[in-house]
């Protein structure tokens, strides 16, 4: 076969793939004013209680969340500045206090290294946004590490000691692990300090080498990013090497398979909730001008954050200019429901399992923390309802009302 003919066939085949991908772009229609009340049992099953070992002085605070690590269940009690570690079956392991690190340090789980990372500013320095850009432009300069503090807890070390760590290039540039030796950067901002106007919203690196970049924008004066700092969001799926990518002010949701990116869904909003064309081509005069726009258009689209898909549902968190809403989209009926309008019922112990800003998730399992006092009254009033086996001995022990209980559940298949 002649080379020109081969090139033509390859080009036509590539065009066919792109056209097919566009035609398969699934639209998700969102109507923020639609109530859409539903019963919780329509969406959730496989409920499992994980009662936690009762320990004196351990109670669930208002600002707390749960995360499942490689070997533990961790509850972050933000109010008390402590992390509580339990085994997967609820046995108490350790209370880790991080008060001494300061107000702006909290544990972030690094799944790749199985570590808790505490990262923040050195309180001896006050960096402006401009200063931070200068630091990133000169990130390889060892002197710039002094502006930050980093600590870690290796969860494979059962002493769970908080240790000082040295800030690395990936920390300063806010790049995160993706797969193998590939890291991702998804920070977006503008400044006249940049010499080159061309940058990309999403970049993949191996070491210091850029291997792939997506979504070019003007690094100096892109209208939609002036006087703001934004980020690409990545969500894990249940399949290795596949993630969901969302962008600020973009209604398209992408699937990233290793270093390839494909549009998968499009959010369709009413005109009153959509950004006007002027937002993308008319620059804000200053930071106050941008803040006024945000405040006066609180229900205009900003970005999709959390996004998770099952065969039946799509569960996602949408940010508007100054509001948030979590939704459940039903594929078969093409209908959507606000999570806050989904009501619990007696078949699920009258427990509200969906959280306003999304639940913690590990693969296909979701997690919610409740207090023992949230479940005890139900069984006292409904003697005919069998107590789940894993709760029997726990409830008989008469636990204090604020004792934490973990609920694990799935979305229905």
Q: Quick one: which of 181, 179, 251, 188 has its CA closest to 215? A: 188
Q: Tokens representing 32?
A: 């923020």
Give me the residue spans of the domains in the chain: 2-411
Q: Quick one: which of 330, 400, 332, 407 has its CA closest to 372? A: 400
Looking at residue 18, its pLDDT comes to: 45
Looking at residue 3, its pLDDT comes to: 43
The dihedral through the CA atoms of 91, 371, 413, 312 has a sign that is: negative
Give, as one character, the DSSP assignment of residue 282: S
Looking at residue 89, its pLDDT comes to: 93
Sheet harboring 324-330: ordered strands across?
301-309, 313-320, 324-330, 335-338
Half-sphere exposure of 95 (CA within 13 A, CB side): 15
pLDDT mean for each 10 residues of the chain (413 residues)? 41 43 77 83 95 87 87 93 94 95 92 95 90 90 92 96 93 91 95 95 92 96 96 94 97 96 96 96 96 97 96 96 95 92 94 92 94 92 93 90 93 93
Q: Which regions of 157-232 does DSSP assign to beta strands (E)?
A: 163-165, 176-179, 182-185, 187-188, 198-206, 209-218, 230-231
Half-sphere exposure of 173 (CA within 13 A, CB side): 21
User: CA 174 → CA 23, 190, 245, 302, 328, distances in Å?
Assistant: 35, 16, 17, 21, 31
Looking at residue 32, its pLDDT comes to: 87
Query: What's the pTM value of the predicted model, to 2 decimals?
Result: 0.88
Element (H, E) at 13: helix 3-23
User: CA 311 → CA 107, 241, 266, 295, distances in Å?
Assistant: 33, 19, 18, 37
* Longest Cα–Cα distance in the chain: 82
Would you call 393 helix, strand, or coil by DSSP? helix
Looking at residue 1, its pLDDT comes to: 45
């Amino acid at each position: 076969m002649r080379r020109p003919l081969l090139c033509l066939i390859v080009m036509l085949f590539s065009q066919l793939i792109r056209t097919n991908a566009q035609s398969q772009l699934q639209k998700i229609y969102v109507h923020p004013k639609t109530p859409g009340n539903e019963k919780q049992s329509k969406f959730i099953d496989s409920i499992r209680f994980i009662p936690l070992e009762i320990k004196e002085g351990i109670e669930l605070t208002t600002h707390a969340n749960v995360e499942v690590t490689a070997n533990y269940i961790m509850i972050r009690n933000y109010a008390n500045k402590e992390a509580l570690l339990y085994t997967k079956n609820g046995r108490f392991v350790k209370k880790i206090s991080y008060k001494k690190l300061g107000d702006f340090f909290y544990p972030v789980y690094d799944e790749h290294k199985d570590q808790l990372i505490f990262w923040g500013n050195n309180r001896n320095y006050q960096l402006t946004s401009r200063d931070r850009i200068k630091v990133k432009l000169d990130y390889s300069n060892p002197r710039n590490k002094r502006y930050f503090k980093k600590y870690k807890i290796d969860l494979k070390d059962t002493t769970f000691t908080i240790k000082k760590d040295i800030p690395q290039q990936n920390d300063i540039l806010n790049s995160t692990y993706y797969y193998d030796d590939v890291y991702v950067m998804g920070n977006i901002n503008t400044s006249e300090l940049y010499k080159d106007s061309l940058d990309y919203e999403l970049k993949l690196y191996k070491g210091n080498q850029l291997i792939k970049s997506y979504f070019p924008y003007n690094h100096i004066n892109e209208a939609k990013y002036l006087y703001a700092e934004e980020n690409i969001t990545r969500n894990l799926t249940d399949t290795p090497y596949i993630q969901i990518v969302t962008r600020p002010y973009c209604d398209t949701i992408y699937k990233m398979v290793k270093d390839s990116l494909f549009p998968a869904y499009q959010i369709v909003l009413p005109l009153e909730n959509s950004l006007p064309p002027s937002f993308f081509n008319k620059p804000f005069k200053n930071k106050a001008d941008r803040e006024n726009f945000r405040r006066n258009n609180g229900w205009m689209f900003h970005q999709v954050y959390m996004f998770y898909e099952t065969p039946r549902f799509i569960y996602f968190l949408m940010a508007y200019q100054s509001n948030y809403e979590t939704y459940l989209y039903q594929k078969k009926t093409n209908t959507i429901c606000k999570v806050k309008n989904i009501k619990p019922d007696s078949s699920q112990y009258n427990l509200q399992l969906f959280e306003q800003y999304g639940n913690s998730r590990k693969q296909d399992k979701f997690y919610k923390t409740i207090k023992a006092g949230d479940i005890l009254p139900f069984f006292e009033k409904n003697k005919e309802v069998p107590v789940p086996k894993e709760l029997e001995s726990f409830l008989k022990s008469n636990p204090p009302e604020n004792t934490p209980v973990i609920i694990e559940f799935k979305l229905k298949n």
